[in-house]
Amino acid sequence: MSKREGIMEGGRMRRRTFGASIVGGAATLPSLLELQARALGDPTVTIDEVTPSVTPAGTLPPAEERTVELFERNTYSVVNIFDVTLRPQVNMTGSVEVPEGNGSGFIWDEEGHIVTNYHVIGSSLARNPPLGQVVARVTLLGADGYQKNFEAKLVGADKTKDLAVLDVDAPVELLRPVNLGQSSKLRVGQRCLAIGNPFGFDHTLTVGVVSGLNRDIYSQTGVVIGGGIQTDAAINPGNSGGVLLDSRGNLIGINTAIFTRTGTSAGVGFAIPVDTVAKLVPQLIAYGKVMRPGLNVQLAPEPVAKQLNVRSGALVLTVPDRSAAAKAGLIATRRGLAGNILLGDIIVGVGDTAIKNAQELAKALDSFQVGDQISLKVQRNDQIQDLPLTLEESTR
C-alpha cells in the first residue's frame, strides 16, 4: 500500500469510527482519544492535509452590495415598538410568542417623532389615553450596535388610516430619519425592501417586488384603506409599522397587513402608500388628529338607495343647516305634501371623478384638504348640475 493510500485509508477509518460514535450517540472520550492516537501514530498525517481549503469571500456582486448598503443605511431608522399593555411570553416549547402590539415603526424626524400603525399600539389606544401619555416602549439601534429603550408618548393617531405618531426623548445621534419617496410614481415590478421586527426578530430584511397598486387594505383596525401597495416581500406579524423602501432606499410605504390563511407570510403583503403618510403625519403632529375634509351630509346606505331606485351615485338624505353643503345649495331627500318621498341630490361626480356610491365619494374627498374648493356634479330632477363647494372638516 502506498503512503497516500495509507493516509486515505486511515482517513476513512477515522471517519467511520467518528461517524459510528455520532450515530450511536454523543462522541465518547475513548473514541476521541483513539482518533488522536491514530493521528499521532502516523507522522505523515498533518493538519493541513485533513483541513479543507477555504474559498476567500471576495467582493459581493453589485446588486447584492447595493442591497447590503441600503439595509445598513436604513436599519437605524427602524425601531421596535412594544405596547405597554402587552408583554412577550414564552410558551411550553420555549419559543417566544409575540403578541399583537409588538411591532415596528420608523423615525420620522430629529425631533423624536416615531411613526407606526395604529393597531400596533391598539391595546393602549383602546383605553382612550390623552395626548402626551406614555403608550409604548420604543427600542432604537445605536451606531455601536446596542439597543436603547425609551418611553414613547402619544402625539396623535388616526384609526381610519391605521396610523399613529409617538414621541421619544432620545439623543439626536440616535435619531436617523428615513428619506421619503413617492408612491404615486411606483410601477408594478419595481424592486422593494421591507425592514421590520417579525416575531420579535429585530431589524429583519426581506426583499421582493411591487406586486400590485391601488389595492384595498383590510386593516386590523377594521377599516378599509384605499390605494395600498401590494408586495411579495415577506411581511409577518411584527413587521407592521415597518418601512417598505424602493431600490434607492426611499420610503414608499408602511407595512401594515398580509393576506394569509396561516398567520404567516404567503407572499401577499400590503403597505400604506407614503403619499398618504406624508399628508397625514404632519397633521397628527400638529393637531393630534387628522383634519379630514368632508361634506357633513348624511348619505343613503346602499340598500336604502336601491329601494329608492338609485342605482348609481350617492343619494343625499339630510343636509345640516349652516353647513358648507347647505351654503352650496345641496338638496336633501324629503317628503312631499302627499307623503311621497322626493329624492334629494344624487352626487355623481367630484370634479372629473365619477362617483358610483358613498364609498367612492369618501375615497374621492380623501385626496383633498379642508378648505379646498371642489365642484360637485349632482343629478337633480334628471339633470346634471355643477355645485361649487368649499370642503370643511368632517364631523362624521
Angle at 258 between CA 256 and CA 261, to 5 degrees: 150
Q: Is residue 90 classed exposed, middle or buried when 0-12, 13-18 and 19+ CB atoms within 10 A define those classes?
A: exposed
Hunting for cell 445598513 — which residue is that? Answer: 72
What are phi and psi for residue 61, nearest 5 degrees?
A: -60, 150
Rounded to whole angstroms, the Cα distance separating 192 from 232 reads: 9
Is residue 162 among the annotated active site residues?
yes
Rounded to whole angstroms, the Cα distance separating 181 from 139 reads: 24
- Hey, how many other C-beta atoms are within 10 angstroms of the C-beta on 31? 16
- The active-site residue, picked from 83, 119, 124, 167, is 119
Is residue 77 among the annotated active site residues?
no
Rounded to whole angstroms, the Cα distance separating 273 from 251 reads: 9
To the nearest 10°, the Cα dihedral for 48, 53, 58, 62?
-170
Residue 63 identity (one-letter amino acid): A
Contact 221, 241 (CB under 8 A): no
- The active-site residue, picked from 77, 124, 158, 162, is 162
Rounded to whole angstroms, the Cα distance separating 327 from 305 reads: 24
Cα–Cα distances in angstroms (integers) from residue 226 to residues 158, 175, 247, 276, in the given order: 15, 31, 24, 10
- The active-site residue, picked from 104, 183, 211, 240, is 240
Hunting for cell 421590520 — which residue is that? Answer: 196
Contact 196, 238 (CB under 8 A): yes
Is residue 124 among the annotated active site residues?
no
Rounded to whole angstroms, the Cα distance separating 165 from 150 reads: 15
Q: What is the DSSP letter of 180?
A: B
> What residue spans of 300-368 are helical by DSSP H?
302-307, 324-328, 358-365
Rounded to whole angstroms, the Cα distance separating 200 from 238 reads: 6
Instruction: Tell me which residues are annotated as active site.
Output: 119, 162, 240
